[in-house]
Amino acid sequence: MGKPLIAGNWKMHGTAESARNLATQLSHHKFQENAVEMIIFPPLVHISAVSDVLANSRISLGAQNVSQYPNGAYTGEVSAEMLVDQGCKYVLVGHSERRVVFGESDQTVAEKFRAAQNAGLIPILCVGESLKQRQQDATFEVVAKQISAVIDLVGLDKVCQSVIAYEPIWAIGTGETASPEQAQDVHAAIRTQLGEAGRLTTLLYGGSVNKGNAAELFKQPDINGGLVGGASLEADEFLNIAQLVEA
């Protein structure tokens, strides 16, 4: 099975001060020796401040987005090498908000995945279906297509060396959550698509994860942890969720 992880996506929230305060609260937590790896994804402009706070902690740092280009005349973009320079270990690629709000295609996501890995970052590849697609029984087809686009570009082995997060679009920020059975079915399908090479790939669930539903989700055999949104902005709740992931 994959390595247990819990990741907190802070999205576009907070100031530098609130980001430092939240990171400080998390870093002061007394983690058990076998605790899961915790990753936090602050807004880009707060990465440097949070990196300083986490310097001597067990918490890993990640970025919410990355350019598919290594460098050049791309105003407003941030390269994977820049993120590494700021202390990042992970980066989200293909989050539903990037796909839906900003129009990122499967191909663009795959190119960002490649750029991240080439610079030494660990991509967390986000995949998931819309409510309409689920109602049309297209969930498995949509998720498989999103993963296949990355496999086609970088190869199966490199995809299996990443982290994959299933986040149904209809459950993100809505308070709705896929049932443990629904989530497990998709995670099992992902595991099957990856084959033997993906036996140890970490698979996360994301989509309105909170302390009330996390335990049942994380009990599922192919779910190795969670990608948490709003609940990660409260230190106590995020830590409570993290403790539910079996190390």
Residue spans per domain, the chain = 5-231
CB atoms near residue 31 (< 10 Å): 18
Beta bridge partners of 206: 227
Q: Annotated catalytic sites, by residue?
A: 95, 167
Q: How many residues are there in the chain?
A: 247
Q: What is the pLDDT of residues 218-238, one digit of tens each?
A: 999 999 999 999 999 999 999
Q: What is the pLDDT of residues 47-93, one digit of tens each?
A: 999 999 999 899 999 999 999 999 999 999 999 999 999 999 999 99
CB atoms near residue 175 (< 10 Å): 8
72 closest CA partner among 115, 32, 114: 115
Report how far residue 35's alpha carbon sits from residue 46's, in angstroms, rounded to the nearest whole number: 26
Q: Which is it for strands 202-206 and 90-93: parallel, antiparallel or unpaired?
A: unpaired
Q: What is the pLDDT of residues 122-173, one digit of tens each?
A: 999 999 999 999 999 999 999 999 999 999 999 999 999 999 999 999 888 7
What one-character DSSP code corresponds to residue 111? H
Please state the rounded mean pLDDT for residues 39-47. 98
pTM value > 0.75: yes
Residue 247: predicted pLDDT: 53
Name the superfamily (CATH) of residues 5-231.
Aldolase class I (3.20.20.70)
Q: Which pLDDT band, with edges at 50, 70 and 90, does 35 fall under?
A: confident
Is the predicted pLDDT of residue 7 greater than 90, yes or no?
Answer: yes
User: Would you state the structure tokens that stand for residue 14, as one six-digit string?
Assistant: 């907070």
User: Would you state the structure tokens that stand for residue 237, as one six-digit string?
Assistant: 């709740």
